[in-house]
Structure 1
Amino acid sequence: MIQDIMKAKMMLFLGFGLFLSICGAEKAVSQEKIVNEEAVQRLDSTLQSFVETNAVGGTSALVFEDGEEVYFNAFGDADRNDKTPMKRNTIVQIYSMTKPVTGVALMQLYEQGAFELDDPVADYLSEFADLKVYEGEDEDGNPILVEPKRPLTIRDLTRHTSGFANDTNTPYVGALLEEAAPLHHSNTLADFAEKLGSLPLVFHPGEEWYYGPSVDVQAYLVERLSGQPFDKYLREHILDPLGMNETRYYVPEEDRGRMASTFYGGEDGSLTQIPDNEQHAFNINEVPLTPGGWGLTSTLDDYMTFTQMLVNEGSLNGVQILKPETVELMATNHLSDEVTERLWLPSKGQVGFGIDFAVRLRPPASAEENHGKVGEFFWDGAASTLFWVDPANELTAVFFVQKFPFDGRLHKDFRDAVYGKYVPEN
């Protein structure tokens, strides 16, 4: 079985590399930019419309193509109450766009031979040695807890097939999750792992794609394997080498004036600014928790630096963060067709999932789907932020807003502004 997996991975690598070579050659011949003058006009018009229609309080975007900036603009307010405009150096809460940063940290240790993706998590983290799976109730109303069909692996953590609970409304396990509160700000990553490891899984590892705290477990794994606190590992091995000085958990007082406020969009079209002391609490107080799945703040230029490292196959400005083959592995689909239960992942389009990224496998099936190029890998954040890496066109994009609930319509319109309306191939 292991040999079959290795062969499959090799075929994926060869196919991915061939695809990028062909696309790169096609672009080199045409010399036509994706983000031309027409695209710039579309982008300005689209972002401005988000503000004018009250869909967002403020928005900004940055796009690079062939290693050069081809678009930047910002519209609206970062803080409506104080009339603070959205700017290039505005600091936003990126939420789940933290996950790919954690994935890069983990894969640095993979390159060093610290683990294999199909190793059981319990080989490294004893907190997950005695997991059980909840399978309903017996005739007397008692929970049925069984042994997992196979061990939880590190690959399960990276592709969201672990089975960890993430919804306090889930039968039986939800109440336990609410009581344990593993991701409470007062917990360390070790506390988090101990509490999460005591809870039953909601399905057997590998059987479903289910978004949850898997990447927070990755952060704890980085901490244990490296012997460093997770936030210090990120700073020393990724953020400082890349010059990402404004990507951090804790925002010092002197920089808080640049933090964007968050807005709540009502079903009636209203937009309400959420009080900063409530929404910024995690990032303006020094707390023990340093989650891998969320929690970082960043700026457009800082996060663009991260995407440029990825599109350059792991290196930027003479600094190597990952090997090219490792970036390729992360950007390769790891979800088999047998994993049919995928929660809301299909809403992202024709995608699979790699290592902490969604991976585009096919062109959009219709103009109603999110636009994008095959081979693209990307992710977004709870406050409706978005980034993607388009290797075929050497294009990277970062889109910032701060809006709840998550608004995928903004992403659809922004993507269409970058690439133009999708036209099906004949």
Structure 2
Amino acid sequence: MVESGRVAGAEVLVWKDGREVHYGSAGLADLEAKRPFARDTLVQVFSMTKPVTGVALMQLWEQGRFGLDDPLDRYLPRFAQVRVYDEAAPNKLRPPSRAITIRDVLRQTAGFTYGGANHPTDAIWNALQPLSPDHTLAQFAELMPKVPLLYDPGTHWHYSAGVDVQARLVEVLSGQPFDQYVVEHIFRPLGMTQSCWKCSPDLLPRLAAIYSVGKGGFERMPRETWLEPNFADKPMTMGGSGIVTTIDEYMRFARMLLNQGELDDTRILQPATVRLLSTDQLDPRIEDKDRLWLPSKGSGGFGFDVFVRTRPPQTAQENRGAVGEFFWDGYPSMLFWVDPLNDMAVVFATQKIPFDGTLHHDIRDAVYGAGYRGW
């Protein structure tokens, strides 16, 4: 990947059968400083933050703080006012066909948006900017219900700010700031001592730069455009993005999931909860056309903040993987997956934008072999 100019630098870590079986790195984390990609390199994982948020919320579910099919507005009352955008309705807005449930929020079927959906609601999102770095999660949860739903709850899968709603639920249900809760109940117990949202400035020299690749070669993204609220004195701590970590520390999170919620005698989730979140939660009546780009991830569905493979690869072009695996990725072409069938977890780290799925296809071919059938 590096020699062919597809990435400036990358690394991969494979854990299988209870031990590390491979670590490899190549290229540079910072081209200008000629700093290599190494095991202590810090990376921004963007949407690979989402499974961490889901685990935090499911810890509170285990404690009986809420029910999966409870209405969201029981805990965040402002969401009782949410409306669905409908061209045929008076003022183009109507009540949803049913209440949003917390299960909807966890499986991306609430009808929420992220903006940028090429939809009339984009203008409202842009005007309100619910996820502005200058907002707190509490302010976000006041603004988000004012953005109309794209669809009735449960009818479509649509990638959205629903995971940030999960983060606000963690705050309300636990009484702690979201990032503080995650540090106390996930990062610290797992030994993820360098994983953070609001990171100490002394970690900046180890942070990988983010590059785009064009005809002129690599272009470094200006820090103000690619550095998320990390290292910045901003109120927002997103549930859907923002974690900075190392490949080894994120692997500890992945190994905990592979080991059914436990790592080094520290239990984060019960085995049944890990099985629940890694089981396809989508109603089969939601057709592929109503799942946005999710079908491009492979033959499967969606659990709680993770893709879930339900069938082996159907073509040679589909990413290699095993039935029962679950995974997610992140905007700068980050990827992790957990494969219980093969007792394996993999983390692939690079910092390339826009998202390059061909890298994931090729790293999976390298791990499984191009002819792997998936069972």
- Taking structure 2 as the reference length, what is the TM-score of the superposition? 0.97
**Residue identity opposite 1:57 in structure 2:** A
Instruction: Pick closer, same or farther for the CA change 1:161–1:87 going to 2, 3 Å.
Output: same
Query: Does 1:251 pair with 2:202?
Result: no
Across the aligned residues of Structure 1 and Structure 2, the Cα RMSD in angstroms comes to 1.5
Within the candidate set 173, 182, 188, 2:130 is matched to 182
Gaps of 5+ in 2: none
- Assess, with a 3 A threshold, how the Cα gap between structure 1 residues 176 and 355 changes in structure 2: closer, same or farther: same
**Contact preservation (8 Å) 1:120, 1:154:** yes
Question: What is the identity percentage for the equivalent residue pairs of Structure 1 and Structure 2?
Answer: 48
Which of 85, 95, 110 is the matching residue for 1:134? 85
Equivalent position of 2:360 in the other structure: 411
**1:398 corresponds to which of 342, 347, 351:** 347
Q: Does 1:113 align with 2:60?
A: no
Q: Name the stretch that deviates more: 159-168 or 353-362.
A: 159-168
Q: Which residue of 1 aligns with 2:24?
A: 73
Q: Which has the larger radius of gyration?
A: 1
Give SS of 2:291's match. coil
Q: What is the CA distance between 1:147 and its match in structure 2?
A: 0.8
**Count of residue correspondences:** 373
**How is 1:245-284 mapped onto 2 (pairs within 5 angstroms)?**
245-266=193-214, 268=215, 270-284=217-231
**Alignment-derived partner of residue 389 in structure 1:** 338
State whether residues 42 and 245 of structure 2, in contact with CA within 8 Å, keep that contact through their aligned partners in structure 1.
yes
Q: Report the Cα distance in structure 2 between the residues aligned to 1:225 and 1:210, rounded to whole angstroms.
A: 25
Amino acid aligned to 2:213: G
- In the TM superposition, 1:13-92 aligns within 5 A as 50-92=1-43
Q: Which amino acid aligns with 1:71?
A: H
The answer to which structure has the higher helix fraction is: 1
| Per-residue deviation, residues 276-303 of structure 1 (Å, max 9, x unmatched) | 3432252121211111010111101100
1:420 aligned onto 2:369: yes
Which residue does the alignment assign to 1:317?
Answer: 264
Paired position in structure 2 for 1:242: 190
1:97 corresponds to? 48
Residue ranges of structure 1 left out of the alignment (5+ in a row): 1-49
Question: d(CA) in 2 for partners of 1:422 and 1:228?
Answer: 48
The answer to whether the aligner puts 1:297 opposite 2:244 as a matched pair is: yes
4+ runs deviating over 4 angstroms: 423-426
Answer whether contact 2:333 2:352 (CA < 8 A) is retained: yes
The whole-number CA distance in structure 2 between the counterparts of 1:312 and 1:213 is 29
Q: CA deviation at 1:424?
A: 5.0
1:264 is paired with a residue of what secondary structure? strand
1:255 Cα deviation from its structure 2 partner? 1.1
Partners of 2:110 and 2:17 lie apart in 1 by: 37
Look up the SS of the partner of 1:136 in the other structure: coil
What's the CA shift for 1:271? 2.5
Residue number among 111, 118, 132 corresponding to 1:163 in the alignment: 111
